[in-house]
Structure 1
Amino acid sequence: MTVVADNGRTCATCGGILSRMNVGPWCSKCSHVESAEGPPEMPAEFWAHAPLREALAAWHMGSVIAEYRNHPAHGQPLSQIQMGQWLDLSQAQLSRIENGPPPEMLSKLVKWATVLRIPADLLWFKLPNRATVESVDRQGFLRVAAATAATVMVSPDRLTQMLSETRTTINPTRVGTVEINQINEATQLFARWDATYGGGLVRDVVVAQLRVAVAYLRASCSPGDRAALQTAVGSLAHTAAFMAFDACAHSDADSMFALALDCAEESGAVNLRAKILSSMARHAIWTGRHHDGLGYARRAFTEADQLTATERAMLHTTQARVHAKLGDIPATLTSIANADRDFSRCVPGNDPAWMRYYDSAQHAGDTGHALFDIAVHGSFVGEARDRLTAAVNGHADAAARSRTMSTIKLASLVMATGDPDEATSIAGQALGRACDLKSQRAAEDIAELRRYAHRAKVRIPTPTANS
């Protein structure tokens, strides 16, 4: 027998009287009709249900989803098929999530919490602040990015102006090769700006476009294009993550790297996965999580037989950086020797687009940075200096950030182990170049240089732009 509500609450759709146990806005019949487009925003009483609260307190999103499905407010439990449609999961995937260990991938937790409209104050993780970036025109932006990438390089100010002039449009219901190509072209454009000027230049705009690209994942797409779309979004997420890393927005970087890795692994993009894990390792090293960095690098090597020689060299240099930070000189030298061996076997034509930056100057710089941490304590000083010098002399203008950061490291090395006067001269070049960057990492390297100068009782002047 149906229990009639004491407060006279009625269904928002049909007007029928709701059961006392139904704290939702619709009756059982209408809730299934309304749910076709996605879950509604549920009232506070819904989230006060004891089993649901227990699942939230246990930090187990699978249990939260199961309790949501079985909530008495629905009249009858929602099926895993229906829930899977909302969450973009198959029934089998959802079953594993509900009955398996607590999911830990932050990007997925954020996605599922957002879809189900779980109140932020009930979650054990932080949802992104979507109000921090202005909305931009999705198709309009991608067309601008594609046209810019295909024609001439505009100034940073002009690019920002073009983006600010765009307007919001409706997300597409279907995505194909045109949109995928536009995402890829936009990613290449942003990666060039990042390498030349640093991550602080247009990072907010890249974050906005990443949200657009993630929305594309929810659109209809042919099976043949799905993996390509996931790879494109993963590549854009990696670029956005590295920009956040360069700006030392470390929480944002962690979230975006996780999203990028998720896309790469779901699409089976082995090469992109290796690049993302390498960047995650570098980020972990920078933030002092050295053992995490070593774990990321080792994880990237699980599919080493499918990587190019250049990619393997990149991963070996990443491992060398970790070993050097940990003070393991033999392991550092072994990793550098392995990196040199694989780099000698490089065939650039075999490399994916995102590895084109890794030329002889980049290799010299990355291995020189690894040696720096043991050289400042007196080991292999000449080798570290030679490699950093080769990087400084070899980097083109398109790699201005890498050239500047190698110059700063070289100045610090000479300041710590050589002639302070020579180091001051090198520092003048480094600081002058750094003025043209929007890189917080470079700023932190400069702070390190000043500490070495202070120990050497040398004063480093404050530079001016283009000095």
Structure 2
Amino acid sequence: MTATFRRLDNRYGGGHSQATSTTTRYLTSTVTPMLNDTTKSLAEREELYGAAAELHQVVGWIAYDIGNAGEGQRYLRDALKLAQDAGDDALEAEMLAAMSHHAAFNKAHGVAVDMALAARRTAKRSGLVALQAEAAVLEAHGHALQANPSACFAALRDAESAFERFVPGSGPTWLTYFDNAYLSAKFAHTFRDLGRPVEAERFARQSLGMSDGYERGRLFNTALLASTLADQNRLDEACKVAATAVKMSKHVRSVRGGAYLADVGRRLAVNRSDRRVRSLYAQMTAAGVPTPV
């Protein structure tokens, strides 16, 4: 069930077909009674805790994706506790990394760094270099948001070093999303928020080489590329790429996707009188994306 919910979430966004109510109903009706069953052996309970942690994480991501940050944080805290009860360092690191990601998006920059540092410590215990690379680049992004380039570059170097040891396809099934495209997107966010759009553009383009089934992520990364082009004042390219992302958003129900597109609009606001920008704003408005007044 968790794999099914995750697949639908990645493809269609958290707002598809009442995803939140469906997953929470499954948690309440099926998973919670299983967790309360005291007749299972310790080994069975640990396995169940791990599976429940994964599902709580998916529900947390869905809530986050539809703009319900408080509920998303609650489910991730529950997922973290379940991962700890399962004694699974890898899952625990993954939940801490997710918390860092949420905090960065919600502009809690200090929390983003703290959660990433906790994820790094736990990821090291797990021995999974993919998690070590992910946690390091999340720390780097937090430092970039805090305008701390020296700490940011140190964390980026650690992320690169860990990724050099990564073997594609290694690790648990819930970590299959991690690859070069995923890490490139994180690098792009980091360089963009450091005010280095040229480097950010290079990584944003690499991030588009992602696997099938991640349509929401493709929308995010396309909007990310448009934002790096907007920061370089390359209006023609920025508007064309952003228009492509707007078309993608019609098939993905994601508040985050709308937020990334709105961010592109803000970065183009200085050129709002340009006909290309006006045309893009019209397309955004038609798609329900707010544009600068």
TM-score between the two structures when normalised by the length of structure 2: 0.90
Q: What is the correspondence of 1:117-128 to structure 2 with a 5 Å cutoff?
A: none
Structure 2: which amino acid aligns with 1:213? V
> Residue 177 of structure 2 aligns with which residue?
357
> Residue 450 of structure 1 aligns with which residue?
265
CA distance in 2, matches of 1:374, 1:456: 22
> Residue 80 of structure 2 aligns with which residue?
261
> Residue 213 of structure 1 aligns with which residue?
31
Measured on the aligned residues, the alpha-carbon RMSD in Å equals 1.5
Offset of residue 349 of structure 1: 4.2
Q: Is the 8 A contact 2:20 2:62 kept in 1?
A: yes
Structure 1 residues 124-156: Cα deviation after superposition (integer angstroms, max 9, x where no partner): xxxxxxxxxxxxxxxxxxxxxxxxxxxxxxxxx
Q: Determine helix, strand or coil for the equivalent of 2:79.
A: helix
CA distance in 1, matches of 2:121, 2:131: 13
CA distance in 1, matches of 2:137, 2:246: 26
CA distance in 1, matches of 2:143, 2:186: 13
> Residue 440 of structure 1 aligns with which residue?
255
Consecutive unaligned residues in structure 1, runs of 5 or more: 1-185
Number of aligned positions between the proteins: 275
> Residue 205 of structure 2 aligns with which residue?
389
Structure with more of its chain in helix, by fraction: 2
CA distance in 1, matches of 2:199, 2:107: 25
Aligned partner (choices 405, 408, 420) of residue 223 of structure 2: 408
Offset of residue 374 of structure 1: 1.3
> Residue 190 of structure 1 aligns with which residue?
5
Q: Determine helix, strand or coil for the equivalent of 1:398.
A: coil
> Residue 176 of structure 1 aligns with which residue?
none
Structure 2: which amino acid aligns with 1:373? D
CA distance in 1, matches of 2:268, 2:114: 34
CA distance in 1, matches of 2:228, 2:121: 34
Aligned partner (choices 44, 67, 74) of residue 248 of structure 1: 67
CA distance in 2, matches of 1:192, 1:407: 20
Structure 1: which amino acid aligns with 2:5? F
Q: Determine helix, strand or coil for the equivalent of 1:414.
A: helix
Offset of residue 391 of structure 1: 0.9
Offset of residue 402 of structure 1: 1.2
Q: Determine helix, strand or coil for the equivalent of 1:298.
A: helix
Q: Determine helix, strand or coil for the equivalent of 1:189.
A: helix
CA distance in 1, matches of 2:59, 2:92: 15
CA distance in 2, matches of 1:328, 1:398: 35
Structure 1: which amino acid aligns with 2:145? K
Q: Determine helix, strand or coil for the equivalent of 1:436.
A: coil
> Residue 94 of structure 2 aligns with which residue?
275
> Residue 288 of structure 1 aligns with which residue?
107
Q: Determine helix, strand or coil for the equivalent of 2:213.
A: helix
Q: Is the 8 A contact 1:284 1:292 kept in 2?
A: yes
CA distance in 2, matches of 1:254, 1:203: 14
Offset of residue 397 of structure 1: 3.0
Q: Determine helix, strand or coil for the equivalent of 1:204.
A: helix
Offset of residue 261 of structure 1: 0.5
Q: Is the 8 A contact 2:137 2:159 kept in 1?
A: yes
Offset of residue 416 of structure 1: 2.1
Offset of residue 366 of structure 1: 1.4
Offset of residue 299 of structure 1: 1.3
Q: Which has the larger radius of gyration?
A: 1
Say whether 1:342 aligns with 2:158.
Answer: no
Offset of residue 409 of structure 1: 1.4
Q: What is the correspondence of 1:73-92 to structure 2 with a 5 Å cutoff?
A: none
Aligned partner (choices 233, 258, 283) of residue 462 of structure 1: 283
Q: Is the 8 A contact 1:364 1:391 kept in 2?
A: yes
Segments ≥4 residues shifted beyond 3 Å = none
Offset of residue 415 of structure 1: 1.2
CA distance in 2, matches of 1:321, 1:209: 34
Structure 2: which amino acid aligns with 1:366? K
Structure 2: which amino acid aligns with 1:335? A
Offset of residue 215 of structure 1: 2.3
Structure 1 residues 104-135: Cα deviation after superposition (integer angstroms, max 9, x where no partner): xxxxxxxxxxxxxxxxxxxxxxxxxxxxxxxx
Structure with more relative contact order (C-alpha pairs < 8 Å, separation 6 or more): 2
> Percent identity over the alignment?
25
Structure 1: which amino acid aligns with 2:245? A
> Residue 188 of structure 2 aligns with which residue?
368
Q: Is the 8 A contact 1:415 1:456 kept in 2?
A: no
Structure 2: which amino acid aligns with 1:419? R
Q: What is the correspondence of 1:3-402 to structure 2 with a 5 Å cutoff?
A: 186-201=1-16, 202-211=19-28, 212-219=30-37, 220-303=39-122, 304-375=124-195, 379=196, 381-392=197-208, 394-402=209-217
Structure 1: which amino acid aligns with 2:262? A
Q: Is the 8 A contact 1:210 1:240 kept in 2?
A: no
Structure 1 residues 242-268: Cα deviation after superposition (integer angstroms, max 9, x where no partner): 111111101111110111001001111
> Residue 175 of structure 1 aligns with which residue?
none
Q: Is the 8 A contact 1:294 1:322 kept in 2?
A: yes
Consecutive unaligned residues in structure 2, runs of 5 or more: 288-293
Offset of residue 389 of structure 1: 0.7
Indicate how the Cα distance of structure 1 residues 234 and 390 shifts in structure 2: closer, same or farther if over 3 A, else same: same
